[in-house]
Structure 1
Amino acid sequence: MEELPGSIVRIIVVKTDAKVTATLGCVSKQWRCVASDDLLWSRFCSQDFAVSTAVDPLGNPCSSFKETYEKWYAAFDMYPSSIVKRAKQCWDTIKNWTSIHFPEVADTLAPGANEEQINKVEEDLGFQLPVPMRVLYRFCNGQNTLKHHFPQNEQLASLGLLGGYEFYEYKANVHLLPLQYILQLTKHPVPYLKLPIGSEYVVVAVSSYRPKFFYLNCSDGQLYVGNGMEQKQLVLRVPNLLDNMDQKDAMLLWLEEYGRMLQDGMFSVHKDDNIRSISLFPEKEPLCTKAVTDGVQVCGSAVFVPEYEDFRRNEDKYMFSYSVRMRLLHQEKISQKRILSSCQLSRRHWIIRANNNVIDDVAGEGVIGKYPLLQEGGDEFVYESCSYLPTSSGSIEGYFTFVPGRLSKPDGPEFTVRVAPIPLQIPQYIF
């Protein structure tokens, strides 16, 4: 072995993993020199822990990537490396997005819990948390927005990491619970939660405003959502879970998908009366549709509302909230005969379908009692409403009638603006 050239030794070492490399470093001085190459250990750090800088799990700088690997290995060697890597990448995605787009929420993310804290929670609960949940909480111990289970003011209430929606007077905004509140809500639940006696359910996320709870069944790792355990629960559609029941990683899959949707621009931060929050109304195709008529652009998308009260009383009623965004584009960007500097909405016409069957045909004045005036290149007008369906999928489409100029001073004949079909369906992942 000593007679092998250093280049051959490097080829051999590069084809191994971190554990074998550490062992090979005990063969001789030459092998130790090759096995200590920091570029090699930087690859192992990235490969096993998704770590790209020489820092330990607490963010402290390390002298080398070899030392970095040793620190990460010591901190997480009790867990499968694949789960650790996925959890780290998941939180990196979410934290990077919030730090750029919504730093107020990024500031609410608590430092990770240590093994002693998690063990103490399990001891008090009387059962074990799924491994993927433990690893997730090692990286982030929920949000520090909550006091007595719910935010105490409007600003904090809007800072739910998992976003929300609003229509009419209805609001929901979901916060990720820290371990201390998971324990409190599980051991001393509010009356309408009514966790089954002897069950291994824990509440991992709650909404400010209206009751909306996400439950994790620690016995099988599956997630549920609803506004109380007495009411019908909806299993979160988590692809691949049935093929990986042993991993119990529904919560991890759920947060991974949420991070991907944030990163892809499907969800964004909205501002209403100077209150910012993450909106769960999708903003990209195919969940968001767009149509342009005579320079008026209308975008629409919908979100399923699983916690709505009537869902308990009538299993054949599904509540969807939809968001419509309209604006008058800059005219030089539009190829058209009609040139508009402004236009005002006068009427609406909606066709609602359930499983391709028309169940409602609605026409009326304005939208939610308003007659928005659109200015060329001006602000977008946004409104939200809701609709029941007797089925779990359907659509809503139609058109708006506008007049050029203003209703009080028309500048030409009225015209119709198309609203492309907005899909109403229960998604695979519910947030």
Structure 2
Amino acid sequence: MGLEDAGDLVLHIVLSKIGPESTGRVACVSRSLRVSASEESLWSIFCSRDLNISTPLDPNGEPVPSFKTAYQLWRESFRMYPWNLVKRVTLCWDNLKLWLSLNFPEAKATLRKGATEDDLEEFETLLKVKLPLPTRLLYRFVDGQELSSSNGLDGSLGLIGGYSAYSHEVNVYLLPLKEIIRETKETMRHLGFSNTSNLIVVAASVVASLKIFFLDCTNGKLYTGTSNRQLLPCVPDSLVRSVHGINGDHQSQDALLLWLEEHGRRLQAGTIKICEQENVKSISLFPELPPLCSVAITNGVQVRASSVFIPEISNLLDQPPAYWYAYSIRMSLVPEGCILNGTHHSSCQLSWRHWVIRADNEVIDKVNGEAVIGKYPLLQTGGEEFVYESCSSFPTTAGSIEGSFTFVPGSLRDPKGSQFEVKVAEFPLELPDYIF
């Protein structure tokens, strides 16, 4: 039995399975098959599966008459790129935009309209580089972020997010092409890189503390810098995949795409989340889920702890090297309050801290002292979580911190019982596989 003898339902199923390219070939066989291969329901499946669109839209988001027309326009617009790569980049941006829409619309509003091929060619001419195909595609969909004082936005809306420790504050956003040109020229001149360098600045912190991400246009690898100008890869080399170039050659050049894909996965999984302090929202890079975040509850006091590697102040060429980490401690009372010997208290206050610091599983320091960053947090039932950040350096890539806080029920001025110890479960301080 040939395809023309199959029923409409069977034919529809067959065509949906073989995909749009083969469906196009089937349409050339006969008039009846051309009719079946042109059904809107069929092309809506292809558009949904390949492009994640549920209405007929062209690549600029404009409505078009049919799903088949939409698919054809997308293929024509991106004919110079491998189609599997187009689908991958589309999914990456769709995932990020969806998360931003639901959780951080203020940051989503900063995403710029995609660049044109002419924009990209002009960019390459000005910087004398050839962008990797995945990077070109990323910018075809979104030309970075628009953060400027003219639109009333501050440095908290970075797509990548950041962290703080004392006066060191970081919030990273994806640069638009116009800013890449400016930042690359200024940064290369400041750092003393050669004019023939194929490094460009693709992301940077928008607040005071300097943090920069470099893309090597020769191999597509992504780096960030240390305090002594050493470049660290931000994506494991083993994960940088090969893609087909325009002439069929293979180049490992998708690190920026891998980086954004991983960032999107962490956002969607809740590994990292929005934080809000003093009515300012931002994406916090301090992990929220185990095993990167430890959680312990003692007598109704919950303590969560996690860390972030700080490459920009680390010095790996020192002897011993200095790997710096920011760590975040979040403490709160469970709804039942502080519970001691069967008695419930609506508040308790911290008075003392004790830390055990390890590097390569060996204790290298113990810290005992009053308060935390000079504060004595008072935890109350139904009150906000108390959050503080600090930082520490390690001589190795693998370390950890654990310890305890001493609390009194009630408050330090009006104690309602004897002091008690609250556990801070061990949390890692390790050089990560992905650096954000």
8 Å CA contact 2:40, 2:68 repeated in 1: yes
Say which is worse superposed, 413-422 or 328-337, in terms of deviation.
328-337
Once the 2 structures are TM-superposed, how far is the Cα of residue 350 of structure 1 from its aligned partner? 0.3
8 Å CA contact 2:358, 2:364 repeated in 1: yes
Once the 2 structures are TM-superposed, how far is the Cα of residue 198 of structure 1 from its aligned partner? 1.1
8 Å CA contact 1:239, 1:428 repeated in 2: no
Task: Give the distance between the partners of 1:330 and 1:12, measured in 2 at CA.
Answer: 56
Task: Give the distance between the partners of 2:226 and 2:87, measured in 1 at CA.
Answer: 33
Please tell me whether residue 213 in structure 1 is matched to residue 186 in structure 2.
Answer: no
8 Å CA contact 1:133, 1:249 repeated in 2: yes
Please tell me whether residue 391 in structure 1 is matched to residue 393 in structure 2.
Answer: no
Indicate the residue corresponding to 1:34 in structure 2: 36
Once the 2 structures are TM-superposed, how far is the Cα of residue 237 of structure 1 from its aligned partner? 3.1
Say which is worse superposed, 45-54 or 216-225, in terms of deviation.
45-54
Q: 1:188 to 1:329 in 2, by over 3 A?
A: closer
Once the 2 structures are TM-superposed, how far is the Cα of residue 43 of structure 1 from its aligned partner? 2.2
Indicate the residue corresponding to 2:286 in structure 1: 281
8 Å CA contact 1:6, 1:30 repeated in 2: no
Once the 2 structures are TM-superposed, how far is the Cα of residue 85 of structure 1 from its aligned partner? 1.1
Q: 1:332 to 1:298 in 2, by over 3 A?
A: closer
8 Å CA contact 2:175, 2:203 repeated in 1: yes
Residue of structure 1 aligned with 2:140, choices 130, 138, 141:
138
Please tell me whether residue 340 in structure 1 is matched to residue 380 in structure 2.
Answer: no
8 Å CA contact 2:240, 2:254 repeated in 1: no
Per-residue CA deviations over 1:154-200 (Å, capped at 9, x if unaligned) read 95111111101111111011111001111222344364333333121
Residue of structure 2 aligned with 1:375, choices 366, 372, 380:
380
Task: Give the distance between the partners of 1:286 and 1:104, measured in 2 at CA.
Answer: 30
Per-residue CA deviations over 1:276-317 (Å, capped at 9, x if unaligned) read 211111111111110000000000000000001645656611
Task: Give the distance between the partners of 1:404 and 1:36, measured in 2 at CA.
Answer: 73
Indicate the residue corresponding to 2:247 in structure 1: none
User: What is the number of residues matched between the two proteins?
Assistant: 426
Indicate the residue corresponding to 1:252 in structure 2: 257
8 Å CA contact 2:188, 2:194 repeated in 1: no
Once the 2 structures are TM-superposed, how far is the Cα of residue 139 of structure 1 from its aligned partner? 0.7
Say which is worse superposed, 324-333 or 257-266, in terms of deviation.
324-333
Task: Give the distance between the partners of 1:427 and 1:393, measured in 2 at CA.
Answer: 10
Task: Give the distance between the partners of 2:152 and 2:394, measured in 1 at CA.
Answer: 31
SS in 1 for 2:47: helix
SS in 2 for 1:281: coil
Please tell me whether residue 193 in structure 1 is matched to residue 191 in structure 2.
Answer: yes
Task: Give the distance between the partners of 1:154 and 1:319, measured in 2 at CA.
Answer: 33
Task: Give the distance between the partners of 1:152 and 1:279, measured in 2 at CA.
Answer: 25
8 Å CA contact 2:3, 2:11 repeated in 1: no
8 Å CA contact 2:240, 2:253 repeated in 1: no
Task: Give the distance between the partners of 2:116 and 2:174, measured in 1 at CA.
Answer: 18
Per-residue CA deviations over 1:232-285 (Å, capped at 9, x if unaligned) read 111113364355372411000000000111111111122222222111111111
Q: 1:282 to 1:5 in 2, by over 3 A?
A: closer
Unaligned segments of structure 1, at least 5 residues: none
TM-score, normalised to structure 2, is 0.92
Residue of structure 1 aligned with 2:53, choices 51, 54, 71:
51
Task: Give the distance between the partners of 2:66 and 2:151, measured in 1 at CA.
Answer: 46
Please tell me whether residue 416 in structure 1 is matched to residue 415 in structure 2.
Answer: no
Please tell me whether residue 65 in structure 1 is matched to residue 70 in structure 2.
Answer: no
Q: 1:75-224 alignment to 2 at 5 Å?
A: 75-146=77-148, 155-189=153-187, 191-208=189-206, 209-224=208-223
8 Å CA contact 1:342, 1:405 repeated in 2: yes
Task: Give the distance between the partners of 1:2 and 1:306, measured in 2 at CA.
Answer: 60
8 Å CA contact 1:302, 1:322 repeated in 2: yes
Task: Give the distance between the partners of 2:347 and 2:409, measured in 1 at CA.
Answer: 6
8 Å CA contact 1:238, 1:253 repeated in 2: no
8 Å CA contact 2:314, 2:322 repeated in 1: no
Task: Let me know the Cα RMSD of the aligned residues.
Answer: 2.3
8 Å CA contact 1:158, 1:173 repeated in 2: yes
Indicate the residue corresponding to 1:4 in structure 2: 5
Task: Give the distance between the partners of 1:58 and 1:16, measured in 2 at CA.
Answer: 28
Per-residue CA deviations over 1:324-378 (Å, capped at 9, x if unaligned) read 0000111189797241211000000000000110011000001000000011121
Task: Give the distance between the partners of 1:98 and 1:14, measured in 2 at CA.
Answer: 32
Q: 1:223 to 1:349 in 2, by over 3 A?
A: same
Unaligned segments of structure 2, at least 5 residues: 243-249
Once the 2 structures are TM-superposed, how far is the Cα of residue 144 of structure 1 from its aligned partner? 0.7
SS in 2 for 1:270: strand
Letter matched to residue 418 of structure 1: K
Task: Give the distance between the partners of 1:325 and 1:120, measured in 2 at CA.
Answer: 48
SS in 2 for 1:189: helix
8 Å CA contact 1:6, 1:34 repeated in 2: no
TM-score, normalised to structure 1, is 0.93
8 Å CA contact 1:401, 1:414 repeated in 2: yes
Report percent identity of matched pairs.
47
SS in 1 for 2:434: coil
Letter matched to residue 117 of structure 2: E
Residue of structure 2 aligned with 1:233, choices 220, 231, 234:
231
Say which is worse superposed, 385-394 or 5-14, in terms of deviation.
5-14
SS in 2 for 1:17: helix
Once the 2 structures are TM-superposed, how far is the Cα of residue 49 of structure 1 from its aligned partner? 2.8
8 Å CA contact 2:300, 2:337 repeated in 1: no
Q: 1:3 to 1:251 in 2, by over 3 A?
A: closer
